[in-house]
Structure formats: structure tokens, C-alpha cells
Structure 1
Amino acid sequence: MDSISGLADEYQQFRYRQNPMWAHMTGEYSVAGTYTDVSAAGEEAAVAEAREFAARAEAIADDGLDEQERLSRSMLVWDATSTAELGALRSAEYGANPIFGAQASLGMFLPKLSIPTPEVADAMVDKLRGVASYFTDLADRHRDGVAAGRTPAAFAAADTIQQLDEWLTSPVGEDRLLRIAATPDGVDRDALVAQLQKVVEDEVRPALATYRAVLFDDVMPSARADEKVGLLHVPGGEEAYATLTRYYTTTDLTPQEIHEIGLEQVAELERQYAELGPAVVGTDDVPAILAALRDDPALHHTDADDIVEASKAAMVKARGVMGDWFGRLPQSDCEVEPTTSGAIAYYFRPAMDGSRGGVFFMNVSDPEGWGRYEIESTSYHEGIPGHHLQIAIAQELDDIPDFRKTAFVTAYSEGWGLYSERLADEMGLYGSALDRMGMLAADSMRACRLVVDTGLHALGWTRQQAIEYLLANSEKSVGHATAEIDRYAVTPGQALSYMIGRLEILRIREAAQQRQGDRFDIKAFHDAVLESGALPLSVLSDHVARRLAKLTG
């Protein structure tokens, strides 16, 4: 019979093999010479192995397990089952992704991969060979998708082709894959880069060209038009979206129920805009408030450095009061860095070996696109007390297995990030009424996501219909609204996690306050939420109740 600790260790090695770039990023170098296997055979093998892990975990009796071991068992069953269910969707067949796809993200991730030893330096050559195999296999998966009538949205395929063209026409000697991290003593960096360049020229770029040709010649003629970007227009898509909804929310809410929750949240935010509007833009008319946030140049940044400095200033304020709201704080710090690629803002977890702290990136490629009102809410979400506390604390726990320290439960993680934006208001962190208006604007986007994501993928909304809804109910410009809708179109269900997660964390907190009355302690609540790592929301609810009952009697 398996022990939970032994099985958890095995499962973590499985997770490393399935996502070697993430593993390398966290400081696990055993898979440094590999890249993601997206082949059909590799996917089938991973699904089978994940199902076996889930079955083995379910076979372990609860009797004799302590609290953390029971949580590990529950987490392993959930994570392995989810991995199998997601793999079985065969999303690579229709998954052209100009936002998070490898052709868009590799240049950003690769320089962040530490190279601490000559052995890891040597492994980088094989990693790039794995990148070449990835794109060759992805081309094969798209051919399978076309044969089965499962194709990407046309805009996603076209944007991906454009990105591939930009990569393929860039000088080989300046290829993005040659921008590697610092190399250790004893490594001839010039010789290593020359080896990498040869792999890029002989293997990676031909693979990119093959993938590009398949997208252009095979996929584009049958790609889904803007009127049919939702999953329900893909064979098996309705069932796939139901699976993704369960995974990303960790609830049994239906897409229709989530759609209604979104509409309710949007209506409540209109009331809050009207209340705050006079102090910020001199009116309580919501469309006028949104228009001012969108169009008034005085409310927008013009300089990339100012964006980063404003974010750093928000982090200084947050650090100063953390001890009043949290019993446990992470040892690693969180830095802010600019970037010109990827999402508008995103967080990188610290390396497990302590070689790198947490960092969140502000995308400053379009400084005017950043509202001055957005900086603080974004910083509190991505940094402190948001993702950094949640992720760094989990990695520093010493009484849970590694797979739980590094687990990512989207509703928990993004729910915590969004919860942190409102918590920052309780903590008095927002510097002005304008900054508080940014908190509402961030909420609007997450509330609208519930409406438009379900609209696209379950209710048959067109791309334009979703864009127009977001424009009418948020301060997003046409360009930003289009980018947001395109993100939801290529990552179905992910956008549901933020608001559903936040609402559930708030519900758990309110239930604890009702149970405990005057004994309720906000620091104990936050520690209960964060000190066992990421958990599905139903598991988190029961865990917090038990944890607080033990603390307060």
C-alpha cells in the first residue's frame, strides 16, 4: 500500500516531467534538458499515468492520516484527476494561442531559467532540441484537429502566424532562444551560445516553419470565424467547457449560473461607481465615469519608468502594514520589473532553492494604456499581499510535500489575488479616491469575465458581442477590450476563476466571522487560508473551519 508522502513525491516528479519549463523555473534541474511533450502519444501516456495516481491516492484510507496528510490525499486526487480530464480534451488540436503560446512566451521565460552548473548549461542544448520537437508535434496535432473538424479561431491562428513570421525573419544570431541566463564559472559561454545557435538554425527554425505552414495551409481555410470563437462550436466543445468550468472554479456551478452571478456583480459595481464617481471625475453617471477613466489623458501614464516606480511605491506601503493583517510572512521578497511582452501584469514565483525571489512584471510596451488608477490594485493583486504572499508562503512551508508547495489551483490563487485588491482597501493602502476607483475598475473586468466567458463558450456569443459588452461595462479601450476577449477565447474557463474564487473566499471569511463572533481574528483567518498551500475551494472551506476551531476553541 502506498504512503501518502511517498505517493506525493512520485506525483511531484510526474508534474516536473509534464511541465519541465515550470520545473526549471522553480529550481528543479533534473528535467533541464527537456521541453513539454505535446505529441498525441505523450498526451495519452500522461492521461493514463495521472489516472493511475488518482486511483492510488483514493485507495489510501483516511484512517491514521493526520490533517495535513488528509489534505495531501484530497489534493492529489483532485490534481491528478483534473490533469487527466484536461489532457483528455485534446485541446492541442485546436489550441493556437497568440497570447500564451510558446511562440509568444519562450523569449520571455528562457532568460529566467537559472543555469547554476555546467551540467545544466549542457542541458540547455537538449532543451532547445525539445523546443523543435514541440513545434513539429504541434503541427501534427493541428493536422489531426483539422481532420476531426476541431480547429482554432481564425484570429488566433492568424495572430500566431504573424508571431512565427516575426521570429523566423529575425536574425539567427539574435534569436530569442540565445538569450540565456548567466552561466557559471567553468562554462565557455561563447561556445555554448554557438551550440545553441546551431540547434536553432538546424532544428528549431525548420520546426517553426513547419508549424507555420500547417497553420497557413491546413488550418486557416477551416478556422472558426469571429461569429464562432466559442468552444460550443467545436465538436465536443460543450462537454469540454463544462470540464474546464469545474476545473477553473473548483465548484459545480454551471455556466448559466456563473453567467447570472456575473450580471449581478456588474449591477452592484454600477452602484459603487456612482457612489465614488463625484469625488473622482465629478459625476455619478456611470457611462461618463467609465468614459473618463478610458479617455482622459490626465488619468493615464505616459512613461514606462513611472509605471514601475509607482508599483514599487505601492509595494513599500504594503510591506509596512503586513504584520497587522498576517501572522506569517514570506522570507523571500518581491521585486517589480518592467517587460514588453506577455500579459499586462504577471507574477513569477521564487525559485525553490532560494536563488531568486518573487518578481512580478508590469508590461510597459504601451505606457498610455496604463491608467494611473490601475497601478495600486494591480500591484496588490500580483505582489503584496496577493500572489507573492500566497505563493511564497506555500513554497516555504515545511510540513507539506513539494507538490502542494507548488500546486496551482486557479480559483484559489486568482481568487486570493482578487480578494487582496479589496483587502488592500480594508488595510488603508489605496492612496486616493482615484486609486480606489481603480479597484472598482479591476472588479469590473473580473465581473464582466463571468458574463463574456460563459457567453462566448456556452451561450453562443460572437467575438464582437463580447467586446461590446466589455466596452459598455468597463473602462477598457477598444484595443484592450479586444485583447481581453481574445484571451478568453483561447483560454476557455480560466477567466472564471478570479471572481468566483474571491466570492468564495469572502463567503468562507463571513462564515468564520458568524461562527466566532468577537473571537474572530483576521490574522488567524489569513494564516488558515495560506498556511496549507493551494486547495480546491470546497476543501479550503472545510480546512479553514477546522483550523480556526482548533485555534479558538
Structure 2
Amino acid sequence: MVPVRRHPGRRQRRARLVPPAPRRAVRRTLPRGASHMIRPRPMSMCCLFVLAMVGLGPGRARAAAGDVLAHLCDDYWQGTLRANPTMATSLGDHHFDALLEDISPAGAEQERRRLEGLRAQLGTVGEAELSPADRVTRTALMLELENGLDNLACHAEDWVVDPLGGPQVSFMNLPDITVIVTPQHAADYVLRCRAMGPYLDQHIANLRRGLSTGRVAAHDQVRKVLEEVEALLAQPVETWALMSPLAAAHGDWPAGAAATFRRDLTAAVREVVKPAFTRYRDVLRASIMAAARPPAKAGLSFLPGGADDYRRQIRIQTSLDLTPDTLHQLGLEQVARFRHDLSELGQKALGTGDIATIQKRLRADTAMHFRTAAEVEAKAGDALARARAAIPNWFGILPKASCQVKVMGLYEAPNSTVAYYREPAEDGSRPGYYMINTYQSTTRPRYEAEALAFHESIPGHHLQIAIAQELTGLPEFRKHQGTTAFVEGWGLYGERLADEMGLYTSDLDRIGMLSYDAWRACRLVVDTGLHAMGWSRQQAIDYMKENSVLAENNIVNEVDRYLSWPGQALAYKVGQLEILKLRDEGRRRLGARFDIKGFHDAVLRNGAVPLPVLREQVEAYFAQMEAAK
């Protein structure tokens, strides 16, 4: 669904192996001179730190070290916004609204130097000189810097063709994160659209470079993107989502300003964006498709350097040093547990404990599926409303930002996931959105809708991410960046927590909860199978059919997602299991004094920290509670 790179318009919080197509890929493209990166100042910052320490007592030295760390955090965050202008826009920072990410080799090299410089400066700030809170920030910042460098080392921009978040989707999402109130906002938006031509040309150049070194996307990823681009080009530009800002009247603008916006935006899309997508389509069709890896060799292990890339992604996504074999075995164990639980609940809800019979019934019975898109949307809204009403009994810290259900556009829905979350603008101009996929609604299972809503909205992503945004006393990067395993682990934890909160309306909906839990367990098996063990695409699809009750169209899109975003799918179960383990430890240590509100607040009050830091923070909370006896 976070950032070293991010897809514009599709707010996914954590880094993943994707080429920046504005980008959950994001980096930068447009007049390079217009996007000055904050240059690292290793000597000046190191000297500042040394001078600050000389002659100071422990208390003052700690304060001085904290000041140096705060400067580094600010340098990092401001540079990250400049390097990721569409992310800045999505957060409500409008300084870079005319820009796109720079995905050129020069841009990547500039970003590498920036991150390495900051890492060197951060290395001069010792943990012993910092307060406990600042030590957490130092650890989190070091992880962000190392993750960013690891992502750059993967050179994903040379080969990834992404049907879920590539430019054919992410560009069309830009109006959803763009605020156009003044003529200057409109002019910036037109400039950003004009930047799409150079961006796509650089994306083409990157793919050609990858082709020359044997690094090329898998066949089905290229096929799906071709279908999306061809569908886009077949539509009149007047109907493109990029043109949707023209629908606003802007009656308060000076005379002629709205007409100028209409003229300039239409010209940009017609004369720059559409021809660039035509060039992109032609290159995919003529060059990339012919060399694309067959479905039997779709994983990273079949790319030169792919094994190293996958190990990097495991570290980035989980914040832990885990091997593919360890994760694969964990997945197998969790899948076996699901089959036992499903058999018990199936007997209660469907009158049979036979797994194959349960799967067949859930997939084939039309009564188990929605009939219309309106039903999908209504079910999502109802689940969100009930969860919103229940959370004060389970959480002490509550977000101010609201969450709303929003339907995905047709330009992304056919090949997209079942749903995702888009975080609110920090300036309050936009709520959080629970983005739902209503495409082919008759294939969407009713029994999965509640678990999905609780994961993406409340008590899942919206609760955690909106709270993080609103925390005070934290550097900005900790409010908006962090560990995928924390964010997605919390979302998956939220699905199970919703059961304890009494939010599921029937045993059939609880089967949906089990199904989604099994889905994430299958991810551990399938992701490692594809990228480390030589599995074919079909082998991954077959495994998920056999060991989940997901609808077939969802399974196919999910497997293709894992091929586009290696390693990201590992984070869910790893994070959820750690949160559950901590909660169990708290119950053992505190007994009747264990407070679920206090536990949840202890987990959420530091932002999306690495899992080892989460453990330290929560164990410190337990110790504090024990000492208060």
C-alpha cells in the first residue's frame, strides 16, 4: 500500500521494491534546478557536534546532542520532501506541486549521496549522549537511511513494470491528492502534467538499460500494464482522470483564469501526456514484452542480482534479519493453524468442517457475493461506522482526522488489490480514505468485507496512521515513515482485535476474518517461494487457491502484486505476530492490572518504529506498570 519512493496519489506508507513511478514508487522529475535537494554538510554538522560536546556537563551535553539530532532529522525530512514531491503534495506541503520525482541515474546518484552524507553525520551522534526518546529517533532515522540506500542498490527502476502503481495508475490518482484553490495551484498542476512526458521518457530509458543487462519484468506484469495503457489511450483525453480538476467552477478567480486553466491543461494532456503514453506503450509492446520473463521464471531469483535484492527487501520490510527459509517455514506453520480453525468455524457456520467443501461453497455460492457496487460500498461504510463508535472503549489516544469510504477509479480497479488506505493530508484539507475496489462486484465476497474494512480503516490503518500524523514531540519523518511490518502488522492485528470488540456481525463474517489471516500466512509461503525458491506464477496461484478461501480474481491479482513488490507481503504476519506476542507477555506480567487501552497506546504513541524498538518501548511500559504497584 510508505517512503523512500512513493506512487503519487496512492499513499502507501512503507518502502518497497518499485521503480519510482511517481512513488507506495516516488522520486522526482522536472526541471532539476527547480527541486534543490538539501545537500548534506558532513563537516559542518560533525564540527557542530564536537564543539557542542566540549566542556559540557552530562545534562547539557545530552541537550546539545539532541539538538544536533533534531537538525539531522529536519535535514532528512526536508530533503525527502524535495526528492518526493508528490508525497509532499499528498501530505499538504505545496512547495513542490509543479514537480515529479527524478528517476534518472543522476537523480538516483544525488539521492544516494544525500542519504550517505546524512548517515555519516548521524554516526557521529552517539547513543550514550542522547535521552531515551532521542535514542529511539536515532535508531529510526538510521533505519530509514539504510533502507533508502538498500532500495537504491536494488535499481528496481531498471526493470519493474507495475500494473498496480505504475504511472498509468499513479498519474491518474494525482487529482485525488491535489488541491486547486488558486490560479497558481492550477498553473502548478499543469506544469506537473507537462512533466509526465519527460518522466515517461526516462522510465522508458531505465527499462531499456535494464533490458541490456538482462533485468526485465515478468510477462504478466508487462501484459497487464499494456492493457491498462491501451485502455487509457482508447479514451478521449477529456475523460481522463487527469482532467477532473476542470469540473470545479472557480467563480472567485480573476476573469479568464479558469479558461486559461482549461486551455493549458487540455494542451498538456493532449500534446505531452498522451503522446508520452503512446511511446511507452510502443516500447512495452515492441521491446519489453518480447524479452519479458516467462511465468515459470517470474520471481527475483531469476534476475541477475535478484537474490541479494530480495535479502535487502526482507530487511527493509520487516526490520529484522530473517532468511527466506525461516519466513517460508513460519508461513507453513501459520497456514496449518488456519486450516484447523477454519474447519471448526465452518462446522458452526456452514454445517461442514471439510476444507474443500467450505472453499467450494464460499467461492461458488452466489449468495455469498455482492450483487452491485452499491452493496460493496454500503457494507464498507457500515463496518467503518460501527468500528468508529466502538474504539473509545479500546484506545486512549484517538485521531482527530476522519476516515471516509471512496471507490477506486476504473483506470486502476481491474488489476488492483481489493482495497487500500490513503492517509489524510497533514494540513487537514483531506480526510483519510478507505479506497475500495467495486470492479466486477459479483466476484467480491460478502464474508470478507468486514475484515477488509477493519484492516484498512478502523481499528487498522486509519487509526494507526492518523494517530502517528497527529503525535506531538516527534520529528516529522516519524509521523509519516516507518517500518512496513509495524504498519501492516497493526492492520492485520486490527482484524483480530475487531473480533474481540464484537464488530463482526456473523460467523460467516468471522470466516472472512480467518480467510484474511490465512491469506497473510500464505503470503509468507508464496512470496519466498516466488523470489527465493524458484516457484512459478502458477504454482503460487495454485497454493493460494488450496490454502485460502479468497476469490480467484483476487488471488491472481495478489500473486502479480507480490511479483511487482517483492518482500512487502512478508511484513503483515511478521508484524502481527510480534504485536500479539507482546500483548500475551503483558497479560502474563501484569495479570489483572493489564489494561488494553494502555497497551494499545504504548504500541501507537511512538509512530511506526522498527519491531525491535517496539519491543523495547512496550516492555518499558510493562516495567513502569509493574513498578507502580
TM-score (normalised: structure 1): 0.97
Q: Is the 2:396–2:598 contact (alpha carbons within 8 Å) kept by the matching residues of 1? A: yes
Greater shift in the superposed pair: 267-276 or 217-226:
217-226
Q: Is the 1:444–1:474 contact (alpha carbons within 8 Å) kept by the matching residues of 2? A: yes
- Displacement of 1:52: 1.7
Greater shift in the superposed pair: 211-220 or 492-501:
211-220
- Displacement of 1:268: 0.2
Matches within 5 A, 1:15-94: 15-94=80-159
Match of 2:160 among 95, 99, 102: 95
Match of 2:613 among 529, 539, 548: 539
Q: Is the 1:82–1:247 contact (alpha carbons within 8 Å) kept by the matching residues of 2? A: yes
Describe the SS at the equivalent of 1:31: coil
Listed one character per residue, the Cα deviations across residues 55-75 of structure 1 (whole Å, up to 9, x for unaligned) are 222221224433332221111
Describe the SS at the equivalent of 1:235: coil
Match of 2:395 among 326, 331, 337: 326
Listed one character per residue, the Cα deviations across residues 435-460 of structure 1 (whole Å, up to 9, x for unaligned) are 11110011111111111110000000
Shift in alpha-carbon separation, 1:515–1:57, aligned structure 2, 3 A:
farther
- Displacement of 1:334: 1.2
**Structure 1 counterpart of 2:313, one-letter code:** L
1:254 aligns with 2:328: no
Listed one character per residue, the Cα deviations across residues 204-237 of structure 1 (whole Å, up to 9, x for unaligned) are 2222222222222222221100110000000000
Separation in structure 2 between the aligned mates of residue 10 and residue 19 of structure 1, nearest angstrom: 14
Listed one character per residue, the Cα deviations across residues 239-267 of structure 1 (whole Å, up to 9, x for unaligned) are 10111111111111111110001000100
Separation in structure 2 between the aligned mates of residue 56 and residue 126 of structure 1, nearest angstrom: 36
**Structure 1 counterpart of 2:420, one-letter code:** Y
Query: Match of 1:128?
Result: 193
1:483 aligns with 2:483: no
Match of 1:454 among 528, 533, 549: 528
Shift in alpha-carbon separation, 1:523–1:264, aligned structure 2, 3 A:
same
Describe the SS at the equivalent of 1:45: helix
**Fraction of identical pairs, as percent:** 39
**Structure 1 counterpart of 2:268, one-letter code:** V
Separation in structure 2 between the aligned mates of residue 55 and residue 417 of structure 1, nearest angstrom: 34
Separation in structure 1 between the aligned mates of residue 137 and residue 196 of structure 2, nearest angstrom: 33
Separation in structure 2 between the aligned mates of residue 479 and residue 312 of structure 1, nearest angstrom: 23
Separation in structure 1 between the aligned mates of residue 70 and residue 278 of structure 2, nearest angstrom: 45
Query: Match of 1:471?
Result: 545
- Displacement of 1:551: 4.6
Q: Is the 1:55–1:77 contact (alpha carbons within 8 Å) kept by the matching residues of 2? A: no
Q: Is the 1:58–1:73 contact (alpha carbons within 8 Å) kept by the matching residues of 2? A: no
Greater shift in the superposed pair: 303-312 or 533-542:
303-312
Query: Match of 2:442?
Result: 368
- Displacement of 1:407: 1.0
1:291 aligns with 2:360: yes
Query: Structure 2, unaligned stretches of length 5 or more?
Result: 1-47, 50-67
**Structure 1 counterpart of 2:253, one-letter code:** G
Shift in alpha-carbon separation, 1:20–1:348, aligned structure 2, 3 A:
same
Describe the SS at the equivalent of 2:401: coil
Query: Match of 1:186?
Result: 253
Listed one character per residue, the Cα deviations across residues 91-138 of structure 1 (whole Å, up to 9, x for unaligned) are 011101112111123223323322244332221122112222211100
Q: Is the 2:489–2:571 contact (alpha carbons within 8 Å) kept by the matching residues of 1? A: yes
Query: Match of 1:335?
Result: 404
Separation in structure 2 between the aligned mates of residue 116 and residue 412 of structure 1, nearest angstrom: 36
1:140 aligns with 2:205: yes
1:503 aligns with 2:572: no
Q: Is the 2:471–2:479 contact (alpha carbons within 8 Å) kept by the matching residues of 1? A: yes
Describe the SS at the equivalent of 2:433: strand
Query: Match of 1:205?
Result: 274
Matches within 5 A, 1:59-458: 59-180=124-245, 182=248, 185-186=252-253, 188-340=257-409, 341=413, 342-458=416-532
Describe the SS at the equivalent of 1:327: coil
Separation in structure 2 between the aligned mates of residue 529 and residue 193 of structure 1, nearest angstrom: 48
- Displacement of 1:506: 1.1
**Structure 1 counterpart of 2:78, one-letter code:** Q
Separation in structure 2 between the aligned mates of residue 390 and residue 19 of structure 1, nearest angstrom: 23
Greater shift in the superposed pair: 140-149 or 357-366:
357-366
Describe the SS at the equivalent of 1:180: helix
Q: Is the 1:36–1:130 contact (alpha carbons within 8 Å) kept by the matching residues of 2? A: no
- Displacement of 1:273: 0.6
Separation in structure 1 between the aligned mates of residue 241 and residue 349 of structure 2, nearest angstrom: 44
Separation in structure 2 between the aligned mates of residue 378 and residue 196 of structure 1, nearest angstrom: 37
Separation in structure 2 between the aligned mates of residue 510 and residue 297 of structure 1, nearest angstrom: 40
Listed one character per residue, the Cα deviations across residues 376-400 of structure 1 (whole Å, up to 9, x for unaligned) are 1011101111001100001111110
Separation in structure 2 between the aligned mates of residue 124 and residue 534 of structure 1, nearest angstrom: 32
Corresponding pairs, count: 553
1:550 aligns with 2:624: yes
Listed one character per residue, the Cα deviations across residues 328-381 of structure 1 (whole Å, up to 9, x for unaligned) are 111112111222424311111111001122111111112112211111101110
Q: Is the 1:142–1:214 contact (alpha carbons within 8 Å) kept by the matching residues of 2? A: no
Separation in structure 1 between the aligned mates of residue 369 and residue 519 of structure 2, nearest angstrom: 18
User: Which consecutive aligned stretches of 4+ in structure 1 deviate over 6 angstroms post-superposition?
Assistant: none
Describe the SS at the equivalent of 1:47: helix
Listed one character per residue, the Cα deviations across residues 150-181 of structure 1 (whole Å, up to 9, x for unaligned) are 01101111221222222223212333321238
Describe the SS at the equivalent of 2:434: strand
**Structure 2 counterpart of 1:168, one-letter code:** L
1:521 aligns with 2:595: yes
Q: Is the 2:140–2:482 contact (alpha carbons within 8 Å) kept by the matching residues of 1? A: no
Separation in structure 2 between the aligned mates of residue 106 and residue 202 of structure 1, nearest angstrom: 16
Listed one character per residue, the Cα deviations across residues 417-473 of structure 1 (whole Å, up to 9, x for unaligned) are 000000111111111101111100111111111111100000000011111111111
Q: Over the residues paired in the alignment, what is the CA RMSD in angstroms?
A: 1.6
Describe the SS at the equivalent of 2:613: helix
**Structure 2 counterpart of 1:493, one-letter code:** G
Listed one character per residue, the Cα deviations across residues 297-319 of structure 1 (whole Å, up to 9, x for unaligned) are 11111111121111221122212
Query: Structure 1, unaligned stretches of length 5 or more?
Result: none
